[in-house]
Structure 1
Amino acid sequence: MALYFPPARAGLPVFFLLAAALASVALVGTAPAVAAPVSLPVTGERLVAADAEPQNWLSYGRDYAEQRFSPLAQVDRQSVQDLGLAWYFESDNHLGLETTPLVIDGVMYFTGAWSKAFAVNARTGELLWRFDPQVPRSKSITACCGAINRGLAAWGERLFLGTLDGRLIAIDRVSGEAVWSTQTTDPDKAYSITGAPRVAKGLVFIGNGGSEFGTRGYVSAYSAETGELRWRFYTIPGNPEDGFENEVMARAAATWNGQWWQYGGGGTVWDSIVYDAELDQLYIGVGNGAPHNRRIRSPGGGDNLFLSSVVALDPDTGDYLWHYQEVPAETWDYTATQQMTLADIEWQGQQRKVIIHAPKSGFVYLIDRHTGKLLSAEPYTTVTWASHYDMDTGRPVEVEGQDYDGEAAVVFPSASGGHNWHPMAYSPRTGYLYIPELDMGMPFDEVKAPDYRHLKRHFNTGYEIGSGTVSQRFGQAMMDHLPKAHLLAWDVENARIAWKIPHPNIHNGGVLATAGDLVFQGTSDGRLLAVDAHSGEVLWQFDTQNSVLPGPVSYQVDGEQYVAVAVGRGGVLTSNTGKDYGTYNPNNRIMAFKLGGSASLPPVEKPERPLPPARMAATEAEILDGRALFDRFCARCHGANAVGDGSVPDMRYLEPVWHENFEAIVLEGLMEGAGMPRFDDVLDKDDVRNIHAYVIDRAHEDYALRQESGWWASLKNAAAHAGARVVSWFLRP
């Protein structure tokens, strides 16, 4: 239901000593290595008229509508067979690339791990400059999802970068040097920035993440020229005793109960921010509650505005205009921060300006951009938490028992969502929305308020993976409905699935649609696909040697169309989603393709796996305790069942030196300067010993499997790996 308040108008580079040695340097910009092409200032006029410059990719979603549709058609359903690798660029790490590159007048700009920025020649891939904001590696502990970054914004002759430690930095587009830098968050709190800024009307809009670590969400606007703060809109109310920032927050507070501010409350705007140039409105997607369990953060109920909402703001002042709350009182980590797409469509016989939204909750929402009125909400994946939406009230009809109140429940979608941050695309030629869908559930077993322990610097959700009955129910649910993933085409005007194609693994990449009637998507098992936009037929694929997570872009240089994408595993909870790479994970890359491209990737060289160390003198109970602690504090980065993807060390294949220093690393912060956090605030020596014993036990289990031969060993390895892939999504305590 749209309500109207009157307007006043993170993967970690563990164990790398070199990174630790470099961590104390100031902001660094590398001088241009080769001459950059001539580039014109990026203006509001250029961004509004992005279709007049199909050779460029000027903003995160290409244009203000964020449709991720390229008007280029040189590569089409017939010619795509001749697509080949034109060039690739090696990044400087393997912690995960989730960036959407910008391409402006022949230069490509993108970001990498630790919020670094790069400029390369878009025709050749030659490095022009590199910028390193020198993010303190100790920040890794409160980075939800690895040391990743999703991209840049451009305005005038500058680029704008949000950093993991909460800064917003303006960078000269030609020299790669910092122009100004401002701290957008309280550095003493667990905020982070991984999303791309957005720019309009000379203002840079930026949100932040960190809700699970105890933060209160907001979005800010800064002057693109000076870095001066112009306005800030909080997404949830703070402590009433401190007074409310405005009447909107006072009204929102009436939808909360208890002392929610003690937990931070959540509502972070960590990804989607969209400017509507036609209506001059700014839309923000608001995140989940913190902790997720609504009975802990807001005992006594309440809708908890503006959690899981789309909120419209005045871009000049930040004043509230309207909102639509997709999941009132959300309790499953169903954020509304996933990509919003603007379109003009025919709906029930009328032309409507709409927001198309397919967030984690599993429904495709069609929202009127003028008023915030819900026009349609239909499921695009398996959904069990709600049966449908009441179109008179705009509210979901929750299914009894799915809020895990007093009894554990297996719920679809999982906390990872039916669609997460991986960009979707909309083609005005087909009228289809292309969604990287994840069809998977998970068990929720609440930690009741008296037993709840809020841990600073660590994830706080208010639920856990249960044992006994909940495990049995989850096992049965997985037998009945194994996790699946698809590229799904959604017919927007008819609110139904047009087609979908299956993928062998979960957690696949973002999407690009083109006027050549193609849809490009990368997969977690290391392929880039070109698919017929009308039928879903796979027409072309390329072995990328690594997982592809973000969305591709398309641009043109010297009359040739390119398709480019960032390639590389990394980021939290991406372990175990592809092949059994083990310690193998090549440096993350940008890959660009064109018709007749003849470049090739270097051969894959998988390293030898070391022999496991001697088992520790530990009881079965101690090893089980170590497993529980590993699941609670380590699996978020190192993978479920200690099965890693190589972006951070796979704990089964540690060299002897790391076993010798295990306690010093975990408790004393020996490798904190390289990004491996210390855990002496929540663990003691006995805890660390039990974790170490569990890790070594897993190393021996893996070694024994590798020594067996024949089909039985292969089957057991595949089963173990598949099980880890499934479980890894549910180890979010």
Structure 2
Amino acid sequence: MDTTFPTFPTQNSWPSAGGGTLNSNFQPDGPLINATTAIRLQVQWSLATPGGFPTAPTIENHSLYVSNSNGTLNKIDTELGSLLWSIPLSDYTGNLHSVSLNSTAIAPEGIVVGDQSSGTLLALHKTTGTLLWKTTIQPSLDAKITSPPTIDEDSVYVSVSSGKSPSSVAALDMKTGKLRWQSYAIPADALIRGPLALNSAKKRLYALTSSNGKVSSLTNTLLVLDTENGTLLWSRNLEKQASTVTDNADNNGVTLFTLQINGTTRDVVAIPEARGHYQVLDANNGTILWSIEVNPGSTNSIVGTSFNPYKSHIYVASNATDPQMHNAHYLTALDAATGTMLWNIKLPESSHINTKHNTGGGIASSPDIVYTSLPGGKITMVNANTGEILSSFDTQASIVSPPVIANDALYLGFAFTDNTGKLYKFTTQENVQISNLQRNQQRSLINRMSEQNDHHDEHDGDGSWSYSGSGSWSGSGGYGGAGDYSGGGAGGYSGGGAGGYSGNGAGGYSGGGAGGYSGNGAGGYNGGGAGGYSGSGAGGYSGNGAGGYNGGGAGGYSGSGAGDYSGGGAGGYSGNGAGGYGGGNYSGASRR
């Protein structure tokens, strides 16, 4: 059965790079994160991995799919923050260097991922990760898939480039992987980069080429192809060079949308270019409607763009540099119909990382907020109407993926200079509290089932996926600094050491030390002070009284008695004793 791929994501999804076939990077739903609640965003969970996350995740309901730089594709539970499976692409391609640095795409039939070490496209089963099909589109040794997959109805579209052969756009059958057509961009020096954009109703596919050091009639050009057979319908050579700010193809590409201009409805295509040049064309014939140079006078590169159809605004994140390569990051709002600049702000810099050679980053928006992730590891949230900075979070990463919005939450992947990475989920303070309770209940059930079946935890193994790490929110209502929700102390996510999620040490999430999230010390979020949310009185939600939900009495949900949920006795779910679910490493990588 043919299924039309969404032009925009739904509240519980982000199915492809750019959020959908229009590549708008816009989430229309998700009312819990707005200009009022944005200052209360907190880290719900974070996952540290052996390889970084230079690409944006894709999401369907409570399943998140993301590839990392060590060549694996991973499925993660968005509620628990736990790894469900991790599969090396080399298992299916036979190429030890296989890696995907672009987003996957989620279709009803499966997950589609491209290999940047070969011209191979793969489809995997969403539940198990088993191979459904693989197709080598271009067999040359230096061929690579250079765009994230774009899916519509029963076809998947990607671009393929190599140093020797001409670049091409290919269409494959989504169910079988059979090649339907392949259209070549001439000459070979023209590279096709960035997400493709698709107008399903008019059966048109838009691709952007950039030069490989040489300029010709089809370098730095917009190509418009017929989706039925790959025929080139028309092309438009750009005034400036197409933006090639990074090898991560999730960031920049053409965006399709509809505008009311002088009382007439027009389909348009927006194009980011090098040196901060941005223009909007008629999508039917390539006529230039308007163009603008963002931050004129600088050697400026566009990091990412987003279109808000509710406000008819275009948001442009740019990385303006002087000849000494000192970065200055800007966010600009434009009127989509006229190109008029509405506001332009300088974004806060990372105080921890020298951003001279950093790459990556991107942008996404919702009705009220613009989210930017920039080189240097800082994520900033901005009021979409006024340009006011609401809050920012510094991850101290060197490469940042484009942000993704789904399930009333913000997801971001990062890569560090030591080839490790971390994936974050941010949500509102209220959602964190609800999700923590739900997560604990689910983990309790999982643990009990595991004990009954006498199975080892499926996440045990070499190489831990930990929830620990540093990072802090800044600005009004900021979350905190060191020792935060996923604090960096020894003991890991559920360990017993200082900073442990449910540990007994100081700063533990539910620990007994001063400042513990649910601890007994003064000032704890759920501390023991008078009036505390989960104070120490009898019957308190997380108190010490007998029978309390997380009380200290024998058998208490998180108490200290033997066999309790998070207690210190043997078998405790997150306790320090032998057999505790979090007594050692929480989980291991590559367990399938």
TM-score, length-scaled by structure 1: 0.53
Aligned to 2:590: none
- Say if 1:322 and 1:548 are closer, same or farther in 2 by CA, change over 3 A: same
CA contact (8 A) 1:309 1:327 kept: no
Aligned to 1:457: none
Aligned 1:314-333 pairs, distance under 5 A: 314-327=226-239
Aligned to 1:91: 49
Q: Secondary structure at the match of 1:488?
A: strand
Which residue among 386, 389, 394 is the counterpart of 1:535?
386
Q: Is 1:602 aligned to residue 560 of structure 2?
A: no
CA contact (8 A) 2:55 2:102 kept: yes
Tell me the CA shift for residue 278 of structure 1: 3.0
Which residue among 123, 132, 137 is the counterpart of 2:88?
132
Regions of 4+ moved over 4 Å: 135-140, 330-337, 505-508, 598-601
Aligned to 2:113: 161
- AA aligned to 1:501 is I
Tell me the CA shift for residue 333 of structure 1: 7.2
Which residue among 302, 305, 311 is the counterpart of 2:217?
305
Tell me the CA shift for residue 494 of structure 1: 2.6
Q: Name the stretch that deviates more: 155-164 or 357-366.
A: 357-366
* Cα deviations by residue, 1:471-493 (Å, 9 ceiling, x for unpaired): xxxxxx65xx9653212222222
Tell me the CA shift for residue 201 of structure 1: 2.8
- AA aligned to 1:88 is S
- AA aligned to 1:305 is S
- Say if 1:69 and 1:83 are closer, same or farther in 2 by CA, change over 3 A: same
Q: Secondary structure at the match of 1:284?
A: strand
Aligned to 1:431: 312
Q: Is 1:502 aligned to residue 346 of structure 2?
A: yes
Which residue among 154, 169, 173 is the counterpart of 1:223?
173
Aligned 1:186-265 pairs, distance under 5 A: 186-188=139-141, 190-210=142-162, 213-237=163-187, 265=188
Q: Secondary structure at the match of 1:418?
A: strand
Tell me the CA shift for residue 501 of structure 1: 2.3
* Cα deviations by residue, 1:505-562 (Å, 9 ceiling, x for unpaired): 56562111012x1111123333221111112211112232324522111111xxxx11
Tell me the CA shift for residue 359 of structure 1: 2.2
- Say if 1:333 and 1:120 are closer, same or farther in 2 by CA, change over 3 A: closer
Tell me the CA shift for residue 54 of structure 1: 2.0
Q: Is 1:565 aligned to residue 412 of structure 2?
A: yes
Q: Is 1:551 aligned to residue 402 of structure 2?
A: yes
Q: Is 1:345 aligned to residue 259 of structure 2?
A: yes
Tell me the CA shift for residue 91 of structure 1: 2.6
Q: Provide the rounded CA distance (Å) in 2 between the counterparts of 1:311 and 1:335.
A: 21
Q: Secondary structure at the match of 1:287?
A: strand
Q: Provide the rounded CA distance (Å) in 2 between the counterparts of 1:548 and 1:335.
A: 10
Aligned 1:646-661 pairs, distance under 5 A: none
CA contact (8 A) 2:243 2:274 kept: no
* Cα deviations by residue, 1:437-495 (Å, 9 ceiling, x for unpaired): 12236xxxxxxxxxxxxxxxxxxxxxxxxxxxxxxxxxxx65xx965321222222231
CA contact (8 A) 2:49 2:421 kept: yes
Which residue among 132, 137, 140 is the counterpart of 1:179?
132
- AA aligned to 2:56 is T
Aligned to 1:646: none
Q: Secondary structure at the match of 2:4?
A: helix
Q: Is 1:60 aligned to residue 12 of structure 2?
A: no
CA contact (8 A) 1:527 1:547 kept: no
- Say if 1:153 and 1:332 are closer, same or farther in 2 by CA, change over 3 A: closer
Q: Provide the rounded CA distance (Å) in 1 between the counterparts of 2:246 and 2:68.
A: 24
- AA aligned to 1:156 is P
Q: Is 1:486 aligned to residue 330 of structure 2?
A: yes
May I ask how many residue pairs the two structures share in their alignment?
Answer: 423
Q: Provide the rounded CA distance (Å) in 1 between the counterparts of 2:109 and 2:186.
A: 35
Aligned to 2:365: 513
Aligned to 2:58: 102
CA contact (8 A) 2:109 2:174 kept: no
CA contact (8 A) 1:293 1:332 kept: no
- AA aligned to 1:567 is F
* Cα deviations by residue, 1:10-35 (Å, 9 ceiling, x for unpaired): xxxxxxxxxxxxxxxxxxxxxxxxxx
CA contact (8 A) 1:546 1:586 kept: no
- AA aligned to 1:509 is G
Which runs of 5 or more residues in structure 2 are unaligned?
Answer: 350-354, 437-465, 472-592
Which runs of 5 or more residues in structure 1 are unaligned?
Answer: 1-40, 141-146, 238-264, 295-303, 384-411, 442-476, 571-584, 606-733
Q: Is 1:590 aligned to residue 423 of structure 2?
A: yes
Q: Provide the rounded CA distance (Å) in 2 between the counterparts of 1:127 and 1:194.
A: 27
Report which structure shows greater RCO (CA 8 Å, sep ≥6): 1
Q: Provide the rounded CA distance (Å) in 2 between the counterparts of 1:496 and 1:340.
A: 19
Q: Provide the rounded CA distance (Å) in 2 between the counterparts of 1:139 and 1:126.
A: 26
Which residue among 293, 297, 301 is the counterpart of 1:418?
301
Tell me the CA shift for residue 192 of structure 1: 2.0
- Say if 1:524 and 1:331 are closer, same or farther in 2 by CA, change over 3 A: closer
Q: Secondary structure at the match of 1:187?
A: coil
Aligned to 2:488: none
Aligned to 1:653: none
Q: Provide the rounded CA distance (Å) in 1 between the counterparts of 2:292 and 2:305.
A: 17
- AA aligned to 1:73 is P
Which is richer in helix? Answer: 1
CA contact (8 A) 2:56 2:103 kept: yes
CA contact (8 A) 2:146 2:158 kept: no
- Say if 1:334 and 1:536 are closer, same or farther in 2 by CA, change over 3 A: closer
- AA aligned to 2:411 is A
- AA aligned to 1:354 is V
Tell me the CA shift for residue 586 of structure 1: 7.0
* Cα deviations by residue, 1:343-389 (Å, 9 ceiling, x for unpaired): 11123443211011112253211111122222222212336xxxxxx
- AA aligned to 2:61 is D
Q: Provide the rounded CA distance (Å) in 1 between the counterparts of 2:412 and 2:197.
A: 22
- Say if 1:332 and 1:426 are closer, same or farther in 2 by CA, change over 3 A: closer
Q: Provide the rounded CA distance (Å) in 2 between the counterparts of 1:197 and 1:603.
A: 32
CA contact (8 A) 1:115 1:162 kept: no
Which is richer in strand? Answer: 2
Q: Secondary structure at the match of 2:289?
A: strand
Q: Is 1:524 aligned to residue 372 of structure 2?
A: no
Aligned to 2:75: 119
* Cα deviations by residue, 1:171-215 (Å, 9 ceiling, x for unpaired): 111110111112122333x222253111123111111344xx444
- Say if 1:156 and 1:148 are closer, same or farther in 2 by CA, change over 3 A: closer
Aligned to 2:192: 269
CA contact (8 A) 1:117 1:132 kept: yes
- AA aligned to 1:153 is A
Q: Provide the rounded CA distance (Å) in 2 between the counterparts of 1:513 and 1:332.
A: 20
CA contact (8 A) 2:193 2:210 kept: yes
